[in-house]
């Protein structure tokens, strides 16, 4: 028996409009046939479209954690509105009659089953590496790093103060060659520098200008380190083509390696039977990557680690890619793939089921919070000294009190250690400190703060940006 509800459909839909359109098809009685397979693992039907022949759509629940949607329509959205409509018809209690699975669909299912089986078998097989192709690629990457080094040194000779939008555009043109050299990550890192100079027409205050200089200097240091560490890493791989991508650090990702789930599994970067609770969510426009990035900050209820999901939607294909949104349930993941990285590694999964948050989940999250700020500060500083480290790590902090010293808000731990709260966080992240005085007072005492650390290069202060507060009975999100 297939057991789904409207929340399931909303989570499956690529966006709210697709879900609405799917529901509309049901209301408009566009489904001329609704069936289920004898074994109740497949819903299939025919939906009248604008043409003469109806679209054949189906939802295959052979693996309930990874439902397969198929449709004969030309839509590039996945699942399309017809498949979503089929699910709505089922949830609405429309009559689905048992019927023989059409031959074409049955054959697709068989092929999918074979593929799944083959995938399982392949997963156990050692990967064959085309060594000559890999060596050729690595050499191209090393050439790319030479180019990146040359560009970086040219930029340093030119001076940050002499940068302008024209110079930034010229650099960007040359940076395209980094993409051709299989170094998209390095290209993005260079974009992070050049993007600082694009809005030169905008009047800036002296303080803003100084911040840009400091940020630019930091970015140049990162580029310099990327060249050095990247060269060491690539040379080591060139010497040993059997060598798998680096998993101890994020250097592979920095260079632009797109990790496949299989690679992560092969590298042992997988956790099984994990439950994840989303602590905060934000979606922002990453100008340097030319993508929208939907980022979820999650707590792994098994380990207490704070991990990130990142859904990249390139501008050019954004409408075809599922847009992630806030998730208010518990994601139950059979196999969680964890990317190499720092304190908050990126995670991905192929399949998941969900359950509502239970009363016991909140104390559990709190139990993973750090009681000693001093220990966390030490860990953060150790992380930040690496030039390629994540500059904005997120931690769960158990605070005794959030109070104020003058006009500054501070979080205090049980030992009296203080951390100053700041509004500075990610670009586009809304202000959150101003919300704290509006919250009920009990939330400012003895709760868990999900906070993003940030070292300000100009003031040389390490401060935190509040993202959420976890109390004994709820997660109160301060950002979005």
Considering only residues 126 to 165 of the shown chain, the ones binding other proteins according to CB under 8 A are 152-154, 156-162
Q: Which residues, in sequence order, are CB contacts of 372 under 8 Å at separation 6+?
A: 413, 414, 415, 417
Binding span for other proteins by CB under 8 A among 61-69, 79-87, 237-245, 405-413: 405-413
Nearer to other proteins, 26 or 299 (CB): 26
- Number of neighbours of residue 361 by Cβ within 10 angstroms: 19
Residues near other proteins (CB under 8 A), total: 82
Name the minimum Å distance from CB 117 to other proteins: 38
Name the minimum Å distance from CB 328 to other proteins: 6
**Subset of residues 156 to 215 that bind other proteins, contact rule: CB under 8 A:** 156-162, 213-214
Judged by CB under 8 A, the residue of 76, 408, 415, 472 near other proteins is 408
Nearer to other proteins, 259 or 453 (CB): 453
User: Is residue 438 close enough to count as binding other proteins by CB under 8 A?
Assistant: yes
Judged by CB under 8 A, the residue of 6, 7, 16, 262 near other proteins is 16
Would you say 410 and 404 are in contact if contact means Cβ atoms under 8 Å apart?
yes
**Rounded distance, CA 44 to CA 97, Å?**
10
User: Is residue 401 close enough to count as binding other proteins by CB under 8 A?
Assistant: yes
**Subset of residues 272 to 291 that bind other proteins, contact rule: CB under 8 A:** 281-283
User: Is residue 402 close enough to count as binding other proteins by CB under 8 A?
Assistant: yes
**Subset of residues 301 to 330 that bind other proteins, contact rule: CB under 8 A:** 323, 325-326, 328
Name the minimum Å distance from CB 84 to other proteins: 15
The 374-393 contact track toward other proteins, x by CB under 8 A, reads ---x---xx-xxxx------
**Rounded distance, CA 61 to CA 420, Å?**
50
Judged by CB under 8 A, the residue of 123, 404, 414, 472 near other proteins is 404
Name the minimum Å distance from CB 62 to other proteins: 30
**Subset of residues 20 to 49 that bind other proteins, contact rule: CB under 8 A:** 24, 27-30, 48
**Subset of residues 102 to 131 that bind other proteins, contact rule: CB under 8 A:** none
Give the rounded distance of the alpha carbon of 356 from its chain centre.
22
Side-chain half-sphere CA neighbours of 313 within 13 A? 18
Judged by CB under 8 A, the residue of 338, 419, 450, 467 near other proteins is 419
**Subset of residues 325 to 364 that bind other proteins, contact rule: CB under 8 A:** 325-326, 328
Would you say 473 and 443 are in contact if contact means Cβ atoms under 8 Å apart?
no
Name the minimum Å distance from CB 276 to other proteins: 17
**Subset of residues 48 to 87 that bind other proteins, contact rule: CB under 8 A:** 48, 50
Name the minimum Å distance from CB 213 to other proteins: 6
Judged by CB under 8 A, the residue of 175, 269, 444, 450 near other proteins is 444
**Subset of residues 225 to 244 that bind other proteins, contact rule: CB under 8 A:** 225
Peptide bond preceding 79 in cis form (omega within 30 of 0)? yes
Closest CA relative to residue 192, chosen from 423, 465, 427: 427
Nearer to other proteins, 130 or 209 (CB): 209
Binding span for other proteins by CB under 8 A among 190-198, 267-275, 330-338, 434-442: 434-442
Which class for 258: exposed (0-12), middle (13-18), buried (19 or more C-beta within 10 A)?
exposed
Judged by CB under 8 A, the residue of 2, 66, 287, 420 near other proteins is 420
User: Is residue 221 close enough to count as binding other proteins by CB under 8 A?
Assistant: yes
**Rounded distance, CA 421 to CA 430, Å?**
14
Judged by CB under 8 A, the residue of 251, 253, 333, 410 near other proteins is 410
Nearer to other proteins, 138 or 467 (CB): 467
CA-based end-to-end distance of the chain: 37
Would you say 411 and 397 are in contact if contact means Cβ atoms under 8 Å apart?
yes
Name the minimum Å distance from CB 362 to other proteins: 14
Name the minimum Å distance from CB 478 to other proteins: 7
**Rounded distance, CA 351 to CA 333, Å?**
7
- Number of neighbours of residue 186 by Cβ within 10 angstroms: 26
Binding span for other proteins by CB under 8 A among 268-276, 308-316, 345-353, 410-418: 410-418
């Amino acid at each position: 028996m297939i057991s789904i509800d409207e929340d399931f459909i909303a989570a499956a839909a690529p966006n709210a409009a697709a879900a609405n359109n799917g529901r509309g098809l049901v209301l408009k009685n566009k489904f001329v046939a609704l069936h289920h397979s004898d074994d109740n693992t497949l819903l299939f039907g025919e939906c009248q479209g604008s043409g003469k022949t109806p679209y054949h759509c189906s939802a295959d629940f052979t693996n309930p954690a990874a439902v397969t949607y198929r449709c004969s329509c030309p839509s590039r959205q996945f699942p399309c509105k017809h498949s979503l409509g089929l699910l709505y018809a089922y949830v609405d209690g429309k009559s689905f009659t048992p019927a023989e699975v059409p031959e074409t669909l049955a054959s697709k299912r068989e092929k999918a089953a074979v593929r799944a089986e083959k995938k399982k078998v392949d997963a156990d097989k050692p990967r064959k590496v085309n060594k000559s192709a890999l060596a050729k690629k690595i050499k191209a990457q090393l050439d790319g790093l030479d180019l990146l080094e040359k560009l970086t040194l040219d930029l340093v000779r030119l001076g940050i103060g002499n940068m302008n939008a024209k110079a930034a555009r010229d650099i960007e043109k040359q940076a395209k060659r980094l993409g051709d050299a299989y170094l998209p990550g390095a290209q993005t890192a260079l974009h992070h520098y050049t993007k600082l100079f694009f809005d030169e027409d905008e009047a800036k205050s002296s303080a803003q200008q100084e911040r840009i200089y400091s940020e630019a200097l930091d970015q140049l240091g990162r580029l310099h380190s990327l060249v050095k560490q990247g060269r060491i890493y690539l040379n080591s791989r060139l010497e040993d083509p059997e060598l798998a991508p680096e998993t101890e650090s994020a250097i592979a990702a920095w260079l632009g390696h797109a990790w496949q789930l299989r690679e992560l599994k092969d590298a042992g970067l997988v956790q099984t039977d994990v439950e994840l609770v989303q602590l905060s969510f934000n979606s922002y426009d990453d100008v340097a990557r030319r993508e929208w990035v939907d980022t979820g900050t999650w707590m792994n209820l098994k380990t207490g680690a704070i991990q990130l999901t990142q859904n990249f939607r390139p501008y050019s294909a954004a409408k075809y890619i599922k847009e992630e949104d806030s998730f208010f349930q518990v994601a139950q993941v059979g196999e969680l793939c964890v990317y190499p990285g720092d304190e908050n590694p990126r995670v991905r999964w192929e399949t998941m089921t969900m359950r509502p948050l239970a009363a016991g989940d909140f104390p559990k999250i709190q139990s993973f919070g750090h009681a000693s700020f001093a220990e966390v500060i030490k860990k953060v500083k150790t992380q930040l000294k690496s030039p390629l480290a994540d500059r904005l790590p997120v931690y769960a902090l158990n605070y005794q009190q959030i109070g104020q010293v003058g006009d500054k808000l501070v979080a205090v731990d049980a030992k009296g250690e203080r951390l100053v709260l700041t509004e500075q966080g990610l670009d586009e992240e809304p202000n959150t400190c101003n919300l704290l005085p509006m919250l009920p007072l009990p939330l400012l005492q003895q709760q868990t703060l999900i906070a993003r650390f940030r070292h300000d290069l100009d003031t040389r202060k390490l401060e935190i940006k509040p993202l959420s507060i976890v109390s004994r009975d709820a997660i109160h999100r301060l950002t979005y």
